[in-house]
Amino acid sequence: MKLKKLGETGLIERLARNFKAGKDIVRGIGDDCAVIRISKKKYLLVTIDMLLEDVDFKLKDATAFQIGWKSLACGLSDIASMGGTAKYAVASLGLPKKLSVEFVDEIYRGIKALAKRFDVEIVGGDTNSSRKLVIDVAVLGFVEPDKAAFRSGARPGDIICVTGALGGSYKSKRHLVFTPRLKEARYLVNNFKITSMIDISDGLSTELNHIAKASGVGACVYEELIPVAKGARGVNAALNEGEDFELLFTMPLDEARRLARKNMELNGVRISQIGEILDKKIGVKIIAPNGTTKELKPKGFSHF
């Protein structure tokens, strides 16, 4: 079987079957972070993201500083989606020999700038030669057991919410300079009951299907409620383009009402309630303004 036919999600599920989680593993392969129990009051979060030239960025369109910033930001976004606090990171680079030393310095300056903003310590890494630029950053963080957010907790009746606006991230280069929603996520888990959460890296349609599958539920979203970013090419871009790195989360109805009374904004970041979690047999649907309902297929980015 070719990887293209199996797909990224299928490959992850295939690999997960070959690794048995130990007793201290709260979550292994299949969520935004691995979650490891290190004490009764603390979980360790571990995530790693590999960025590839001409896939996650293009040298002609991005500065070295932006590339460095994004390489750490992706991992911080994963920590945010678990409701955690980021603490340490290691960065490994595959470097083409044609790059200047000054270019590499700027990559590290971008990493350092974002790390400083969120009080993350860069504690190691590796370098090697490569035909194209590759950056692989692992981030470690922590979360309290009662505040940890997973993909698998959504229940029928929960309200589906999203931070920010979606679509057009690659075209606008927002994907290079985005701010991980760490502060917003911590506020949410500290003040509300969050039943599931994921960051939107591969597109809203794909991420909502991930939550539905992991939680064993169905879902519906209303097209007119989806926040479309300025300059994006309509709702399809918001659903499928990805690289938004916003938070998609669910919460019980009474909690959603309480959040709505907070004016639906955190640190200047808009929060939109876009739908509802339903019974699994209904599937994942999208409802058009005229009332037409259709299946919301996962059409976001896939590496294979």
Structure confidence at residue 23 (pLDDT) = 84
Structure confidence at residue 147 (pLDDT) = 97
In angstroms, the CA 253 to CA 158 distance is: 6
* CATH number (domain holding residue 197): 3.90.650.10
Domain identity same for 71 and 192? no
Spatial contact of 13 and 5, defined as CB atoms under 8 Å apart? no
* CATH number (domain holding residue 126): 3.30.1330.10
Domain identity same for 103 and 136? yes
pLDDT in tens, 74-95: 999 999 999 999 999 999 999 9
Domain identity same for 286 and 206? yes
Give a yes or no: residue 6 inside a domain.
Answer: no
In angstroms, the CA 45 to CA 86 distance is: 8
Structure confidence at residue 256 (pLDDT) = 96
Q: Which domain holds residue 215?
A: 159-295
Name the residue type at position 236. N
Q: How is residue 81 written in tokens?
A: 């989606």
Domain identity same for 110 and 193? no
Q: Does residue 30 have a pLDDT over 80? A: no
Domain identity same for 225 and 128? no
Domain identity same for 79 and 197? no
Spatial contact of 140 and 87, defined as CB atoms under 8 Å apart? yes
Structure confidence at residue 12 (pLDDT) = 62
Give a yes or no: residue 149 inside a domain.
Answer: no
Q: How is residue 87 written in tokens?
A: 């603490």
Mean pLDDT of the chain: 93
Domain identity same for 93 and 164? no
Number of structural domains (the chain) is 2
Concatenated DSSP letters for 38-97? EETTEEEEEEEEEEEBTTTB-TTTS-HHHHHHHHHHHHHHHHHHTT-EEEEEEEEEEE-T
Q: Residue 116, SS3?
A: helix
Give a yes or no: residue 94 inside a domain.
Answer: yes
Give a yes or no: residue 303 inside a domain.
Answer: no
Pick the closest to residue 185 from 287, 39, 86 (CA basis).
86
More confident residue, 16 or 122: 122
Q: What percent of the chain has pLDDT over 90?
A: 85
Concatenated DSSP letters for 259-287? HHTTTTEETTEEEEEEEEEE-GGG-EEEE
Structure confidence at residue 205 (pLDDT) = 97
Q: Does residue 196 have a pLDDT over 60? A: yes
Give a yes or no: residue 11 inside a domain.
Answer: no
Domain identity same for 241 and 129? no
Lowest mean pLDDT among 6-15, 32-41, 217-226, 267-276: 6-15
More confident residue, 302 or 159: 159
Neighbouring CB atoms inside 10 A of 279's CB total: 12
Give a yes or no: residue 93 inside a domain.
Answer: yes
Taking the chain, what is the end-to-end CA distance rounded to the nearest angstrom?
Answer: 12
Give a yes or no: residue 167 inside a domain.
Answer: yes
Domain final position from 108, 143, 178: 143
Structure confidence at residue 304 (pLDDT) = 46
Structure confidence at residue 15 (pLDDT) = 66
Structure confidence at residue 186 (pLDDT) = 97
Residue with the two structure tokens 């959504």: 154
Give a yes or no: residue 179 inside a domain.
Answer: yes
